[in-house]
Amino acid sequence: MKEVVLITGAGGMIAKELAKKIDKEYTVRFLTRRKKQDNEYEWDISQGTIDESAFEGVAHIIHLAGANISEKRWTNERKKELISSRTDSARLLLNTVKKKGIKLKSFISASGVNAYGTLTTEKIYIEEDPFGNDFLSEVVAVWEQSADQFLEENGAERIVKIRTAVVLSEKDGALKKMVPTINSYIGSPLGSGKQYMPWIHVKDICSIYEFALKDSHIKGAYNAVSPQHITNKELTKSIAEVLKKPLWMPNVPAFVLKLIFGELATALLEGSRISSRKIQDAGFRFEFPDLKGALEDLLRKKKN
């Protein structure tokens, strides 16, 4: 009998790719705002409603739901939404688990490498480092506290917090936005271009979730980030090289990004180096540890 895995954030690229990866070994269900498939169940976080039949026989929850950090300007209303979409959703899951008398084998939550603050320094951050003091680190702090509640309130045997870097995928996210501008000869680094950009191939982030799901020794926080440290300029240049396109344009000035994005520009103009040693020491092996190989895999169909 297959164990049941319930995944939130059904519309996201990680949820879709992860489901394909594990569906032979597990029974996969999704929580979504609008049901389209037989294995989908509806919930409404703002209303606090959920289809409790999704929890029948569930052994694991992989919690990927949360409003997109970089989708809109950070107005006060948007900041509240970024936090509540993560914390209220986790609380709704925990309340339902407790109501139904379920103790999960694992609760695995998405998190972010922004935990350490958005700073460009020479420091390489590890999981034991303290949280930063900016808005993104605040989001991660309350996000992870929501996951910790599953352990504290006896809702799960173990919890795992996957602190995720920028996920590179040809289907969505940062890479999909960068490729058209570089193909159109208007791509360029952002600001100084010297800010570090922690990244991970979409296949590797899905493999980390699978690794965390299957190995009961994996507990607590793990950085999900490639071992190779790159800057925004190096990423832009590497994409252009793989696409065989020149970079003609000067760097996008920081003040322009601040005018367009407001406070969100900080997330684009600053970035830290993050260590993946802990997940590697636990036995995980990256399929795409270097940027060139990752981009070749993701963009080979676009080079024509």
Q: What is the mean pLDDT of the chain?
A: 93
Which structure tokens are listed for 95? 């309340």
DSSP codes joined into one string, 247-283:
--SPPBPHHHHHHHHGGGHHHHH---EE--HHHHHTT
- Which tens digits make up the pLDDT trace of 258-300? 877 888 878 788 899 999 999 999 999 999 999 999 999 999 8
The answer for 283, left when phi > 0, alpha when psi is -120 to 50, beta otherwise, is: left
- Which tens digits make up the pLDDT trace of 99-121? 999 999 999 999 999 999 888 88
Length of the chain: 304
Please give the CATH number for the structural domain made up of 3-231+264-302: 3.40.50.720
- Which tens digits make up the pLDDT trace of 207-244? 999 999 999 999 999 999 999 999 999 999 999 999 99
Q: What is the pLDDT of residue 257?
A: 80
H or E, element range at 40? strand 40-44
Is the confidence at residue 303, as pLDDT, over 60?
Answer: no
Is the confidence at residue 301, as pLDDT, over 50?
Answer: yes
- Which tens digits make up the pLDDT trace of 151-165? 999 999 999 999 999
Q: What is the pLDDT of residue 11?
A: 86
**3-7, strands of its sheet edge to edge:** 49-50, 40-44, 26-32, 3-7, 58-63, 106-112, 159-164, 220-224
92 vs 36, higher pLDDT? 92
Using a pLDDT cut of 90, give the percent of the chain over it.
Answer: 79
Q: What CA–CA distance (Å, rounded) separates 152 from 154?
A: 6
**What is the value of pTM for the model shown?**
0.94
Q: What is the pLDDT of residue 120?
A: 83
Q: What is the pLDDT of residue 304?
A: 45
- Which tens digits make up the pLDDT trace of 246-260? 988 888 888 788 877
